[in-house]
Structure 1
Amino acid sequence: MTGPGHGTPPTLDRELHHPTRLALAAYLSACGEAEFAVLRDYCQVSDSTLSKTLTALEKAGYVGIRKGYLGKRPRTWAALTLTGRRALARHLAALEEIAATARRAAATCAEPENTPEHPGT
């Protein structure tokens, strides 16, 4: 498995490796900003889990948090930062490279060899 540096493995982003963080970043990459409850429902996690996830991504600089009110009700919105968008793109490229390498490896081992167990045609 080689990455862009030829001979180095693709680098997955530690902050985006967890499925909930990846799902959240992917969702936010498709919109400008999303409200906390929408993100919670999309990721199918508890308020506590989403709060911890957003905090971790905010500390990494991947997500910006905005708090405000909708009427008299407090609300929290999240948006993927430029740093987060770039990190997500690199992470997805690394996943693609891993998948492509696996497909190439599987294709080479799936070809029958010209051996007594697998005579050629």
Structure 2
Amino acid sequence: MSAAGFDPIIHAPIRLQACAILASADKVEFGLLRDAIEVSDSVLSKHLKQLEEAGFISLHKAASAGRVRTWVSLTPVGHKAFSAHVTELERLVRSSAAPAAVAGE
């Protein structure tokens, strides 16, 4: 059983949710991402830092209407890692749904 696509960095629930949201958009504003995942700023920041250190996301600050906003996006490496992780999770689900061989049969 190969787990080549399984990524423990992405697998943590908050990071997995963030990657899923980011995979469907070019970029997402930090506050929107925080609200969608329903976590505090500090919790999201901690998880985004881990994704950024892995090279999976990029953060970009931009001024808008007198406020500085942080935008988050998946990098090409992040897209590839997230896709591989989802593929591995799907494989695990399929294998768990297959009838198991019973010893002695």
State TM-score, norm by structure 1.
Answer: 0.79
**Residues 10 and 83 (structure 1 numbering): CA distance in 2 closer, same or farther, change over 3 Å?**
closer
Cα deviation for residue 105 of structure 1 reads 3.1
Distance 1:96 1:19 in 2: 16
| Structure showing greater Rg | 1
Cα deviation for residue 21 of structure 1 reads 0.2
Determine which structure has greater relative contact order: mean sequence separation of CA pairs < 8 Å that are 6+ residues apart, divided by chain length: 2
Cα deviation for residue 57 of structure 1 reads 0.5
Q: Please state if 1:80 is matched with 2:74.
A: yes
The residue identity in structure 2 corresponding to 1:20 is I
Q: What is the match of residue 58 of structure 1?
A: 52
Equivalent pair of 2:27/2:74 in contact (CA under 8 Å): yes
Distance 1:92 1:20 in 2: 15
Distance 1:104 1:9 in 2: 18
Equivalent pair of 1:36/1:78 in contact (CA under 8 Å): yes
Count of residues in Structure 1 that have an aligned counterpart in Structure 2: 103
Q: What is the match of residue 14 of structure 2?
A: 20
State TM-score, norm by structure 2.
Answer: 0.90
Cα deviation for residue 72 of structure 1 reads 1.1
Which runs of 5 or more structure 2 residues have no equivalent in the other structure? none
Q: What is the match of residue 64 of structure 2?
A: 70
RMSD: 1.6
Q: What is the match of residue 90 of structure 2?
A: 96
Work out the percentage of aligned pairs sharing the same amino acid. 37
